[in-house]
Structure formats: C-alpha cells, structure tokens
C-alpha cells in the first residue's frame, strides 16, 4: 500500500465515517478479482479536438462528486477488508496511434483492462485510457472494479466524465464530503434482507424447472480444459447490430411478443446447445443479471455508483429453429423469478457462507464451478442515453463490457445507444479457446438475425 497517499480511516479533513467494511457482496467481488481480474469497462468515441489536461481535470471533478472514487481498500486492519480514503487521482493512460485502428479500444480492453486488476491497495478504484487516433478521433475507456460497479455505473461515470470535460466547472469542484455510501445490501427491500442463505441451484418445487419434482440434466458450457482459477483470463469479442437491421429485429420482437433480452438469451442458449451437439428438448441454463435499482427502499439513479445487479437463471429447452418459443419462455421465467425475489437470496448466502479472503475462497468458488446454476449469461442494461454532441465534439459507440473472472466461461454484455446494439462477448481463454468462442459468437448473431428474417 502507498501509505503516503492512503490516509487513516475516518481522519480526512476532520470528517468521520470515511471508512467502512466491505459488504459481503463487495467482499466477494473483491476476492474473485484477486483470483482473476473482474473489471467493468465503458467506452465512447469522441471526434474533435481533445485536451489531455481537460480530461484530467474532468476526472478530478468526477472524483470530487463521487466518494466511492476516492477510496482504496485495505486488508491490514482488524475486521476484514475496509474501504479507506485516498488522495490519489484517477490515472489516465494515453495511447497515441500513427495509423487509424477501428478496433484498438477492443485490444486495450482485451489485453490490458481485463488482464490487470485496478490497484485497490493504493486506489482509487478507477482508471482511464485515452486512445488518440489520426484525424482527431479519440476513444475513451473507463474501468471500474465490479465491487463498486455494474454496467450502468460504468457508462454513467463515463458520461459524467465526458460532460465535465466538455463543460468544465467555472470554479474548483466542491468535494462531496460525508460517509462512504452504504452498500447495496443495506438498501434492499426489507422483506428481502434476510432470506434463507441456500446455495443457488435448481429449485424443482418452484415449478418452473423442467420435469418439476424430478431430476433433469441441465446443460452448461463444458470447458475444453480446466484452467486454474488464478490463471483465468477474460477475452473480448465485439459485435454490434445497428441501422435498419436493428430496427427490423426490434419490429420482429414486438410482433412475437418478446423482449430483445429474451431473444439474445435464447440465441446464446441455442448456440451453446449446438456447440454441445445437443438434440432439441435438451435443457440449458442461461443466466440473466438483472438490475434492482428501482426496487430498493430508496431507489437509486443511474448516476449512483455501486453494483446494483444480481442474477437469475432460466432453464430453457433447446427448440432447434424455434427461437421465439425459447425467448417467450425466458421472458416469462425471468419475470416469475423476479416476482418471487430470486435475485436476492445470494446476498444472504454471501453474508452467511461467503469467504472472508482469497485464502478461504476455494470451497465456494469450486462449488460454483461444479454445481452453480449457470456458467454462461447475458447482461443487458437495455437502452442507455448518451449525448451525441457536446460542444464541438461528436460522440458515438458508447457501450460497456464486463469481465467474467471465475463465475462462468462464456458471457455477453449488451447495451443500446445511438440506435446501435452493442453485443460484447467474453470468454475464458483456453477453457473456451478463441476459435471455439468465435464459432459460438457467430452462431449467436446468425441465430438472432435469421429468426428475424434478416
């Protein structure tokens, strides 16, 4: 830890409450990030003249607004890991290119942001990249660890950063003093704060699983080889759907009475089923991280920093070429599970049985590996409004992508901005080799477009 920059808990400027223990969920994400990097990254393209100084000052203004971006984490105090204040600025790494590279931001995320964890000991819990390209084209990437961020958080922070750079405050930004914001668990609806801490798995008695009351084989992604948890690497494959194609896909979804999420999840389940050589009628479990920002006793906005998602899973029967039936089932199943509050027991589980450090994390990590409800998933935050112009800047390509760490083998991060659906696929290197991952990704996209008649 850089002790010259990390202050003692609760002593900054005479204010108390600037330190608190990590919650069970925050601690879990912090632990598995140490096993295999677990960052959430947001990206946008700026066209126009961009000043490094302006971007740096805007990062400082962003930190001033967001207490969670002025923190580090220490594991050297009694009682387990704690957030502690730091005066370190958000680092801005600059990459300058002599030739235009459309996909350079993907390479930076794939090779660096998903390979190197944010330095939580020195803090702060964020870092940024500026990629300068010829012709005044610039890509910005902001990375935040999953312990304080979900996809919405990362994109909202990126949006705030760009706005602060385009329209700098007329005076030095006031620091938002006060205690460290409470954890998401403390804001859950009261009836869900103390649920049975059972391990997440099939619940035949709920009636939504296949062959209710009977054993059923539920497929997941089978890795080519077991990669030790501490050696796993998230890799990125970017795809997008836009223009008339996205409009026709959206129209087809409305006609069939399904959401885009239902179709994307069904396509992933279909691709995994075909990859496994499964026959129609075989069951596969696909995960769906869902937001609960609006369900909290005190709802939080997009601009609130934190990880406000939890996952439910759908065990869907592979239907061959009938993607719409699969999508309708997934939509109905997710709605039913959310009504029952199935997104919340994991918090009780982590409080009751979650590890306290990397040293004692093996049992839970291995259980999830061998018996978890799912190991492939689609995280879709839907439409996210991002400005198209700010002053003389033109903006495009806003999107997010999250790492996998040790919670699965194949995933995708989905958001829609500027009339473009960005479908960022991730996979664990070697467990799902790139060639196999590309086949899965191409199958997903082809399946969606074919079902929509495209």
Assigned token pair, 441: 């990704």
The CA distances from residue 25 to 215, 355, 375, 407, in Å, are 31, 10, 19, 14
Strand, helix or coil for residue 234: strand
Assigned token pair, 362: 């093996």
Asked if 307 contacts 150 with a C-beta cutoff of 8 angstroms, the reply is yes
The CA distances from residue 198 to 189, 193, 239, 310, 374, in Å, are 19, 14, 37, 15, 16
User: How many CB atoms lie under 10 A from the CB of residue 435?
Assistant: 7
**For position 210, what pLDDT does the model report?**
56
Q: How far is the C-alpha of 401 from the C-alpha of 40, rounded, in Å?
A: 6
Which residues contact residue 317 at a Cβ distance below 8 angstroms, ignoring those fewer than 6 apart?
210, 280, 281, 282, 283, 326, 329
**For position 441, what pLDDT does the model report?**
98
**For position 78, what pLDDT does the model report?**
87
Residue 249 CA, distance from chain mean position: 24
Domain boundaries, the chain: 17-166, 216-451
Assigned token pair, 278: 């499964």
Assigned token pair, 5: 């920059």
Q: How far is the C-alpha of 120 from the C-alpha of 115, rounded, in Å?
A: 15
Which residues contact residue 24 at a Cβ distance below 8 angstroms, ignoring those fewer than 6 apart?
185, 347, 350, 351, 354
Q: What is the CATH number of domain 17-166?
A: 3.30.559.10
The CA distances from residue 151 to 344, 407, 415, 422, 433, in Å, are 19, 16, 9, 13, 25
**For position 244, what pLDDT does the model report?**
94
**For position 192, what pLDDT does the model report?**
87
Q: Which CATH number fits domain 216-451: 3.90.1150.10, 3.30.1360.120, 3.40.640.10, 3.30.559.30?
A: 3.30.559.30
pLDDT digit of tens for each residue in the chain (454 aa)?
A: 333 344 443 333 333 468 999 999 999 999 999 999 999 999 999 999 999 999 999 999 999 999 999 999 999 988 899 999 999 999 999 999 999 999 999 999 999 999 999 999 999 999 999 999 999 999 999 999 999 999 999 999 999 999 999 998 877 766 766 778 999 999 999 888 776 544 444 444 444 555 443 467 999 999 999 999 999 999 999 999 999 999 999 999 999 999 999 999 999 999 999 999 999 999 999 999 999 999 998 899 999 999 999 999 999 999 998 999 999 999 999 999 999 999 999 999 999 999 999 999 999 999 999 999 999 999 999 999 999 999 999 999 999 999 999 999 999 999 999 999 999 999 999 999 999 999 999 999 999 999 988 8
Q: How would you classify the pairing of strands 283-291 and 218-219?
A: parallel
Helices (H), strands (E): how many in the chain? 10, 16
Q: Using CB atoms within 10 A of its CB, is residue 253 exposed (0-12), middle (13-18) or buried (19+)?
A: buried
Asked if 151 contacts 34 with a C-beta cutoff of 8 angstroms, the reply is no
Asked if 43 contacts 398 with a C-beta cutoff of 8 angstroms, the reply is yes
pLDDT digits (tens, 9 = 90+) for 176-228: 667 789 999 999 998 887 765 444 444 444 445 554 434 679 999 999 999 99
Asked if 157 contacts 144 with a C-beta cutoff of 8 angstroms, the reply is yes
- 6 beta partners: 86
Q: How far is the C-alpha of 384 from the C-alpha of 361, rounded, in Å?
A: 35
């Amino acid at each position: 830890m850089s002790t010259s920059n990390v202050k003692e808990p609760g002593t900054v400027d005479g204010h108390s409450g600037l330190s608190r223990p990590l919650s069970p969920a925050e601690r879990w994400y912090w632990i598995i990030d140490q096993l295999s990097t677990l960052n959430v990254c947001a990206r946008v393209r700026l066209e126009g003249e961009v000043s490094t100084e302006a971007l740096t000052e805007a990062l400082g203004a962003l930190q001033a607004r967001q207490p969670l971006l002025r923190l580090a984490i220490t594991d050297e105090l009694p009682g387990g890991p704690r957030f502690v204040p730091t005066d370190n600025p958000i680092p801005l790494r600059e990459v300058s290119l002599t030739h235009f590279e459309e996909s350079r931001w993907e390479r930076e995320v794939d090779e660096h942001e998903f390979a190197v964890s944010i330095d939580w000991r020195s803090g702060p819990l964020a870092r940024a990249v500026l990629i300068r390209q010829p012709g005044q084209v610039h890509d910005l990437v902001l990375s935040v660890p999953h312990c304080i961020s979900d996809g919405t958080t990362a994109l909202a922070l990126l949006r705030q950063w760009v706005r602060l750079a385009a329209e700098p405050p007329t005076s030095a930004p006031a620091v938002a003093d006060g205690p460290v914001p409470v954890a998401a668990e403390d804001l859950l609806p009261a009836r869900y704060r103390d649920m049975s801490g059972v391990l997440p798995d099939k619940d035949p008695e709920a009636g939504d699983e296949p062959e209710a009351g009977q054993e059923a084989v539920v497929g997941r992604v089978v890795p080519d080889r077991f990669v030790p948890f501490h050696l796993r690497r998230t890799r990125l494959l970017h795809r997008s759907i836009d223009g008339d194609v996205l409009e026709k896909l959206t129209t087809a979804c409305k006609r069939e009475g399904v959401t885009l999420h239902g179709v994307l999840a069904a396509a992933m389940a279909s691709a995994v089923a075909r990859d496994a050589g499964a026959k129609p009628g075989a069951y596969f479990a696909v995960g769906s991280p869902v937001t609960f920002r609006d369900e909290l006793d005190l709802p939080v906005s997009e601009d609130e920093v934190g990880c406000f998602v939890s996952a439910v899973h759908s065990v869907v029967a592979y239907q061959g070429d009938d993607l719409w039936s699969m999508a309708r089932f997934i939509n109905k199943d997710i709605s039913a599970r959310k009504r029952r509050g199935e997104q919340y027991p994991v918090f009780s589980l982590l409080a009751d049985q979650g590890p306290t450090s990397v040293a004692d994390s093996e049992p839970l990590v291995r259980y999830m590996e061998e018996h978890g409800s799912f190991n492939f998933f689609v995280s879709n935050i839907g439409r996210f409004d991002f400005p198209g112009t700010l002053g003389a800047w033109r903006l495009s390509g806003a999107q997010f992508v999250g790492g996998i760490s040790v919670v699965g083998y194949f995933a995708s991060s989905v958001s829609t901005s500027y009339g473009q659906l960005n479908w960022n696929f991730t996979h664990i290197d070697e467990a799902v080799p790139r060639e196999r991952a590309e086949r899965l990704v191409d199958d997903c996209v082809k399946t969606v477009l074919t079902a929509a008649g495209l």
